[in-house]
Amino acid sequence: MNLEHNKRLGQSGEDSAVDFLLSNGYKIITRNYHSAYGEIDIIALKDDTIVFIEVKTRSSNTEAALNSVSVSKQTKLTKTASIFLSQHTSYEQLATRFDVISIIHKSNRQQLNHLKDAF
């Protein structure tokens, strides 16, 4: 697969994740938040919890998508989340959670799995 195809697949997955989150009562704060450590795909608010969400989109294998958030990636996400919270002090007192949403594209269908409190 080429880079452009992967980019489109990833964007489509993130769009599907946002639709899923909105339909389940989440408020999207921002998408594709960048820091020197990396990027968080989606930052959302659910009740009194700030949820930092990594979206993994694949053309097959749900388990591979869920397991593709390595310890190194988790460290980058937590550091990036800390920077976000330091820049947005109104959220600092809320609970935080790190979720992974995997989206598998199969024959014009999508299978979405939401792993709450993934790490």
What is the reported pTM?
A: 0.88
* Residues 29-88: tens digit of each pLDDT: 999 999 999 999 999 999 999 999 999 988 766 555 556 788 999 999 999 999 999 999
Domains observed in the chain: 3-115 (3.40.1350.10)
CA–CA separation, 61 and 68 (whole Å): 11
Q: pLDDT at position 59, please?
A: 73
